[in-house]
Amino acid sequence: MSAGRRRRSSSIIYMEPAETIEQRSDQEAIPNLNASWVNAKGAWGIHFVIIVVLKIFYDSLPGVSQETSWTLTNISYTVGSYIMFHHVRGIPFEFNAGAYDNLNMWEQMDNGDQYTPAKKFLLAVPILLFLLSTHYTHYDNAHFTINILATLAVVIPKLPWTHRLRIGLFEDSD
Amino acid sequence: MDLADTMKAVNHTFQDVSYQFKRLPGSSILLRYIKNSYQNDPIRSIVELCLLLFAVRYLLAPRYSTKQKPVDLTEREIDELVEEWTPEPLVSPLTELEALEEERRPIITGPTGPKVKLLNSGRTVTNMASMNYYNLINNDLVKERAVQILRNYGVGACGPPNFYGTQDVHMDTEKEIARFLGVPAVIVYAQSFSTISSVIPAFSKRGDIIVADRACNFAIQRGIQISRSIIRWYNHNDMEDLERVLAQVQREQKRKPLTRRFIVTEGLFETTGTISDLPKLVELKLKYKYRLILDETHSFGILGRTGRGLTEHQNVDPSNVEMLVGSLAHTLCAGGGFCAGSNEVVEHQRISSGSYVFSAALPAMLSVAAAECLKLIEGNPDLLLTLRDYTKTMRSQLERSEHIIVTSAPENPRILFTVKGYEHDERVMAEVVDEALTAGVLISRAKKVADSSKEWQYGPEVVMVTPSVGHTKKDLEAAGSVIRKAVGKVMSRRK
C-alpha cells in the first residue's frame, strides 16, 4: 500500500516524488489550514513584533553589546523560522489523514506555488533584518560571517529550485 | 583648452547629478546608510548589494504553479475520446452460480428461530444458518423489554451519537459491557460490520504500520485499506511468521521517525473458524512494542467460562488488548458493535472514529436488548454448557462423513467444514447447501469477496453450520445425518 515515509532512492540528494492520486485527493479534500494562515495580515505583522521583542530582550541582558544583540536576534529569528518552515514535515496535528506527511510547511504553502506574496514577504524579512543589522553595528569578520550564514540558511531553502529537494545526510537509505 | 573644457563639462555634470540626487526624497538616508554600512570593507558591501539585488529580483518574479498542468485537448481529440469510450455496465451480468443461487434463495416467512418456515415451499426447516446460538431471539423477557423501550424511546435516535443521538440506554449498555468484560471503558457502535473498519483508521494513519493475519475478515481488510497505513501480512495463525515480520519491520524502521504500530487479528476467524493464540500475541506485542487490535465479533459471548471471549478463554487480562472489538449483533442477537479499551482509547474514538461520528446512533431498543441478552448469558451458565455440548455433538455428527473436513476450532459453535478434494470449489459447497435445504436443514455458505489480490481470499471454501440451544439433541442428529447425506449425494454426482 502507501509507501509512507520510505525513501525510494539511496542517493544523498533526492527529490520528493509526486503524490499518488489517493494522496492528492486526501490533500485536496479540505483546505490546508496548517499552511493557509500565512496569508493573513496578522501573520505578516507578527514577524516584526517578534523581531522587536527579541531585540528588546537581548538589549535588556546586561553586558551584551549591540553587535551581539543584533546577532542573537538574527539567529533566533532564522533558527525559529527554519524549524517552522523547513524542518518540520507534515502537519503537527491530526488532519487530512497524513496526506502532507512528506512535505514541509514551505512546500505546503499556497499549494506549492512559487513567488506568491506570502513567500516573497517571508523571504524579504530575513534579508531586511540582516541588512538592518549591518547598518546599525560595526560587525567584525566573525560576527558578519555568522550573520550572513544564518541568513543564507533560511534564504536558500526558500528558493524554487529547492522545492521538494531532500538532502539525506542523516537519513537511512533502504 | 579642449582638456580644460572637457574637465569643466564633466565636473558640471557631476555637480548636476549630485544636486539632482540630493533633491530626491530619502537620498540622504540612502547615502548615510551606504556610508555607515561600507565600514572600509568593499567585499561586505558587495555581498550586501548582491543580497539586496537578489531580494528585489525574487520580489519581482511572477507567480507560477509547481503542480502538473492538465493536458490541453483540442475539440477534435475530446470528441475522439468520447467516441472511443464504451461504458462498463453498472451491474455485471450474473455468473452461472449467482443465477442458480438467486433462483433457489430461501426466503423465511414469520419470525426467525431454531425452526423457520420457508416462503416458497411453505415447509418448516431446521435453521442452522443464523448465529442465534443461545436462542435469545425468541426470549420473551428480551422481547417484552424491547417493546417497552420502543414505546418509550421510539424507533431510533435519528442522529449521530455526538448530535443528540446518545441516549441514557446507550450509556447504560456501554457500562454494562465494560463491567462484563472488566475493562475501563466501552464505546457502542451502530453497526457490527463497520465497527472494526472504523476503529482501525481511527488510530492508524498514513505512515503507520499494521501487521495483520492473512485470514482476517473483510471488515478488517476494509479498515486497513481506509487507514492508508503500511500493511504487512503474516501467515494465518503462524506466530513464527509473525515474529519474522515484526523483526523485519523493526530492521526497516530503524532510525526512522517513530510511528504507531498495530497487530490486527481475530479471536475466532470468520473465514476459517480457527482460534488465535492470544498469550503468544501479547508476548510478541510487548516485545516489539505494538498495540493489539483484536476482533472478537465471533468469540464474544462464546469463548471463556462465562462467555467473556478469547481473553477469558486463554486467561489473558483484557487490559493487554488495547482495542477489543466485539459484536452485539451475532451472539447477542441485537444489533451494533462495540470497542472496549482504556478510557483514552474509547474517548479518542468518540470524536475521531468515522462510523461513530457520522452514522446515526444504535436504536435504543437494540441497545437495551443487547444489555438484556448479556445479563441472560451471565445469569444462565447452563446456556454456555449446553451450547458447548451441542457443538461437540454437531461436530462429531459431521466428522462421521469421510468427505467432510471440519476446519473450525473445537470451541467454535460456528462450525465450518469443507469437502475433501473440493476445497476450492464454490459450486460443490453451493450444491451441499442446496441438498441439505431440500432435506429440511437450512445451512449456508461462508461467502468471500472475489478479489484479484490473494490476501483477500484466504483458506478453503466452507459451509457454515450453527447449532442453537433452541434445537434438541434429536434435531442435531437429524441435521447431521441430512448434511452427511447431502455431501454424499453431491460427491456421488461428481464421480
Query: Can you tell me the ipTM of this complex?
Result: 0.86
Cβ contact A115–B61 (<8 Å):
yes
Query: How confident is the model over B171-184, as pLDDT tens digits?
Result: 999 999 999 999 99
Does residue B40 form part of some domain?
no
Domain that holds residue B368: 138-379
Cβ contact A127–B55 (<8 Å):
yes
Give the best residue of A114, A129, A148 to mutate against chain B (max B CB count within 10 A): A114
Question: Is there a single domain that holds both residue B197 and residue B288?
Answer: yes
**What is the C-alpha separation between B222 and B200, in angstroms, rounded?**
9
Query: How confident is the model over A65-93, as pLDDT tens digits?
Result: 988 999 999 999 999 999 999 998 888 87
Query: How confident is the model over B347-391, as pLDDT tens digits?
Result: 999 999 999 999 999 999 999 999 999 999 999 999 999 999 999
Cβ contact A123–B207 (<8 Å):
no
**Residues in chain A within 8 Å Cβ distance of B68:** 18
Q: Which of B335, B353, B379 is the last residue of a domain?
A: B379
Question: Is there a single domain that holds both residue B373 and residue B405?
Answer: no
**What is the C-alpha separation between B230 and B228, in angstroms, rounded?**
7
* Secondary element (H or E) of residue A96: none
Cβ contact A2–B59 (<8 Å):
no
Give the best residue of A100, A135, A137, A173 to mutate against chain B (max B CB count within 10 A): A135
B492 lies within 8 A of chain A by CB: no
Question: Is there a single domain that holds both residue B222 and residue B299?
Answer: yes
Question: Is there a single domain that holds both residue B333 and residue B205?
Answer: yes
pLDDT at A4 over 50: no
Given A23, A111, A135, which is nearest B67 (Cβ)? A111
Given A113, A131, A139, which is nearest B64 (Cβ)? A113
B42 lies within 8 A of chain A by CB: no
Cβ contact B206–A4 (<8 Å):
yes
Mean of pLDDT values over A49-76: 93
Report the CATH number at residue B167.
3.40.640.10
Report the phi/psi class of residue A31: left, alpha or beta, with left for phi > 0 and alpha for psi in -120 to 50: beta
A78 lies within 8 A of chain B by CB: no
Cβ contact A138–B39 (<8 Å):
yes
Q: Give the pLDDT of residue B404.
A: 94
Nearest Cα neighbor of B397 from B472, B337, B482 is: B482
Q: How close A146 gets to chain B, by Cα (Å)?
A: 13
The number of distinct structural domains making up chain B is: 2
Cβ contact A5–B256 (<8 Å):
yes
Q: What grid cell was written down for A94?
A: 491530526
Q: What grid cell was written down for A104?
A: 514541509
Q: How close A61 gets to chain B, by Cα (Å)?
A: 26
Q: Give the pLDDT of residue B455.
A: 53
Given A97, A99, A114, which is nearest B64 (Cβ)? A114
Q: How close B359 gets to chain A, by Cα (Å)?
A: 20
> Would you tell me which residues 15-34 of chain A have a C-beta closer than 8 angstroms to some C-beta of chain B?
18, 22-23, 26
Q: Which residues pair with B418 in a beta bridge?
A: B405
The mean pLDDT value of chain A amounts to 85
**Residues in chain A within 8 Å Cβ distance of B252:** 174
CB neighbour list of residue B15: distance below 8 Å, 6 or more residues apart: none
* Euclidean distance between the first and the last CA atom of chain A, given in angstroms as a whole number: 17
Q: Give the pLDDT of residue B454.
A: 55
Given B36, B66, B206, which is nearest A99 (Cβ)? B206
Q: Give the pLDDT of residue A115.
A: 92
Cβ contact A1–B225 (<8 Å):
yes
Cβ contact B229–A99 (<8 Å):
no
Mean of pLDDT values over A122-132: 93
Does residue B15 form part of some domain?
no
Question: Is there a single domain that holds both residue B241 and residue B336?
Answer: yes
Q: Give the pLDDT of residue B457.
A: 60
Cβ contact B62–A144 (<8 Å):
no
Q: Give the pLDDT of residue B177.
A: 96
Question: Is there a single domain that holds both residue B229 and residue B352?
Answer: yes
Q: Give the pLDDT of residue B260.
A: 92
Q: How close B68 gets to chain A, by Cα (Å)?
A: 9
**Residues in chain A within 8 Å Cβ distance of B65:** 111-114
Question: Is there a single domain that holds both residue B405 and residue B319?
Answer: no
**Residues in chain B within 8 Å Cβ distance of A4:** 206-208, 229-230, 259
Q: How close A76 gets to chain B, by Cα (Å)?
A: 20
A134 lies within 8 A of chain B by CB: yes
A108 lies within 8 A of chain B by CB: no
Question: Is there a single domain that holds both residue B426 and residue B393?
Answer: yes
Q: Give the pLDDT of residue B37.
A: 63
Q: Which of B340, B363, B379 is the last residue of a domain?
A: B379
Report the chain A residue with the minimal C-alpha distance to residue B52: A127
Contact A123, B58 (CB under 8 A): yes
Cβ contact B64–A120 (<8 Å):
no
Tell me which of B114 and A134 has the higher pLDDT. Answer: B114
Query: How confident is the model over B408-432, as pLDDT tens digits?
Result: 999 999 999 999 999 888 889 999 9
Question: Is there a single domain that holds both residue B371 and residue B422?
Answer: no
Buried residues in A80-90 as b, exposed as e (16+ CB within 10 A): ebbeebbeebb
Cβ contact A113–B37 (<8 Å):
no
Q: What grid cell was written down for B99?
A: 443465477
Q: How close B40 gets to chain A, by Cα (Å)?
A: 11
B59 lies within 8 A of chain A by CB: yes
- The domain spans of chain A are 23-166
Size of interface A-B (CB pairs under 8 A): 96
What residue ranges of chain B have pLDDT lower than 70?
1, 36-40, 450-457
Contact B361, B170 (CB under 8 A): yes
Q: Which of B315, B348, B379 is the last residue of a domain?
A: B379
Q: How close A99 gets to chain B, by Cα (Å)?
A: 7
B67 lies within 8 A of chain A by CB: yes
Confidence of residue A2 (pLDDT cuts 50, 70, 90): very low
Q: Sort B209 into a burial class: Cβ within 10 Å, 0-12 / 13-18 / 19+.
A: buried
Question: Is there a single domain that holds both residue B111 and residue B232?
Answer: no
**What is the C-alpha separation between A60 and B249, in angstroms, rounded?**
52
**What is the C-alpha separation between B302 and A44, in angstroms, rounded?**
63
Buried residues in A153-169 as b, exposed as e (16+ CB within 10 A): bbbebbeeeebeebeee
Give the best residue of B221, B228, B254, B352 to mutate against chain A (max A CB count within 10 A): B228
Q: Give the pLDDT of residue A169.
A: 65
**Residues in chain B within 8 Å Cβ distance of A144:** 44
Q: Sort B269 into a burial class: Cβ within 10 Å, 0-12 / 13-18 / 19+.
A: buried
Q: Which residues pair with B417 in a beta bridge?
A: B406, B463
Confidence of residue A1 (pLDDT cuts 50, 70, 90): very low
